[in-house]
Chain A
Amino acid sequence: MIGQYTRRKVTNYLMLTLCGLATLAAIAILLLVVGYTAVNGLPYLNLEFITQTARPLGEPGGGMRNEIIGTLILVGLASAIGLPVGLLAGSFLAEYGDGRVGTAVRLVADVLTGVPSVVIGIFVYIIMVRSMGTFSALSGGVALAIIMLPIVARTTEEMMRLIPATYREAALALGISRWRTIISVVIPGAMTGIVTGSMLAVARITGETAPLIFTALGNRFGFSGLLNPIAAMPLQIWRYATSAYDTWHQQAWAASFLLVIFVLFINISVRWLTARRYGYTR
């Protein structure tokens, strides 16, 4: 009996320690990724990196101005399409989403979240790139918009459902129409939530690479219109990383560091915002 009791105690400590170690490992991986990116990228991240375009191979220096601008344009395009549509879809789900149509839309949104981004890229390639005959910034924006759509829609829905029904009823009782109620009462009330959801969606698509291979393609020269191929940071990181040249690797690290800083900054500020607004502590 003593032996058995000892074995139980040992198992207990062993398993609990393993759980702690697993957590340590998970956190260590994040720190390693961010740490290596910082150490390898920081030395090359300077004014030149942001303001200069790429130099020919062999020449030192140069930067990613085109890629940074390209990513900004792509994300801007995607937001211009994805945010309003996502907001509308989310409002629809929150207000009218209990019927059969709502359930179907919600299901589609959920399934869309699970669709690999590479498949979305191919899809946009077929409907836009092939029919228009050229890779383009626009198609890249559309692909990214499709990725952000379900994220924005579902956060909007959840946040709008948090608005107490009494607010809504008060406005409706005053004879205000349903859509005006939504616009003037529900959406402002859910604003913080919607903004944070949108920020998360933007952070998510900024680093997306796979769909851009089939749509934005990349462009060694500067921006030349929405209907032409456009450069993007994540694409360039991939190309540089899989190249054989040290100078390109350095540029890839620097760009990665920029991306990581941006994405982590958004995520952490979202945490901070939600924690303040909703007293969310977990």
Chain B
Amino acid sequence: MSHETDWERPLEQRAKIVVERLNAWYGPVHAIHDISLTILDRRITAVIGPSGCGKSTLLRCLNRMHEVQPGARAQGEVLLNGENIYASGVDPVTVRRRVGMVFQRPNPFPTMSVFDNVAAGLKLHSLLSRTRFADTVERALRRAALWDEVKDKLKKNGAALSGGQQQRLCIARALAVEPEVLLMDEPASALDPMATLAIEDLMRELVQDTTIVIVTHNMQQAARVSDKTAFLLANAQGAGELIEYGDTPQVFTNPKDERTEAYITGRFG
């Protein structure tokens, strides 16, 4: 199925994740308030907004990582392929298996080799017999555009790579279990410009067959890589609300809400 025909399908068929009236708290602090939006299949959705607007929280609610922190909870619906991942009886472990995540700072496992880092998820799920790990690890590293740089040091410590390589290693680690959705929380904020560009190129490659949601504070980055952009802003109580959501060119060139315009033109944030 090519891109073009894909665009023409009705919205509800192309929806990968539908968020319905999502609220999240850290203890007594209301972090996001009543957010609803639809994330399209095999598209890059960028979530932007000033710091403290709840964009990371929103992202972490999409694979139930939010609740990992002490005192954190969420309410509302997140439909992944039409199934509510917050329904009772849904095991977050199976959700996270399908919705992978890349964090703000590269976090390879320092006690594992490059190979074992990528294979960590495979081992958890015993998806393959051990002899076939090698193929999958290689494929994941190739998709993360890291293979050529590390193919000779697969046995070296994963934390001995450069920062940009570490982050791509983390992407490879997430890709190895072949998630349907990849969540990226400011994946390039700790990297230099060259490494950032490499990650952005990589995202355009990956989105051919996965869905990507990226949180970024860098508006140029959002404009460069994403198809859809969501703008979040904290309300008077400090809880993040969705101000505007639309196609990226429209949001950046012709925002409907004046607060969006103020933010993207750099008047605050």
Contact = CB atoms under 8 A, between A and B. Distances in A.
A–B in direct contact per CB < 8 Å: yes
Interface of A: 4-5, 8-9
Q: Is the interface of B mostly helix, strand, loop or mixed?
A: helix
Interface string B114-131: 000000000011100000
A4 B125 CA distance: 8
Contacts of B94: 5
Nearest to B127: A1
A15 to B, nearest CB: 14
A8 B93 CA distance: 10
**CB-based closest 7 A-B pairs:** A4-B126, A9-B91, A5-B94, A4-B125, A8-B124, A8-B93, A9-B93
Nearest to A12: B93
Contacts of A5: 94
A9 B91 CA distance: 10
Interface in B88-104: 91, 93-94
Interface residues of B, number: 6
Nearest to A7: B126
A8 B94 CA distance: 12
A9 B89 CA distance: 13
Instruction: Select the residue from A4, A5, A9 with max chain B CB neighbours within 10 A.
Output: A5
B96 to A, nearest CB: 13
Contacts of B125: 4
A264 B125 CA distance: 48
A89 to B, nearest CB: 37
A263 B94 CA distance: 50
Nearest to B94: A5
A262 B221 CA distance: 65
- B91, B94, B126 pick with most chain A CB within 10 angstroms: B126
Contacts of B124: 8
A228 to B, nearest CB: 59
Contacts of B93: 8-9
B40 to A, nearest CB: 29
A8 B97 CA distance: 13
A4 B124 CA distance: 10
B135 to A, nearest CB: 20
B128 to A, nearest CB: 12
A5 B93 CA distance: 10
A4 B93 CA distance: 13
A184 B126 CA distance: 65
A9 B126 CA distance: 14
Contacts of A8: 93, 124
Contacts of A4: 125-126
A265 B125 CA distance: 51
Nearest to A4: B126
A5 B124 CA distance: 10
B32 to A, nearest CB: 28
Contacts of B126: 4
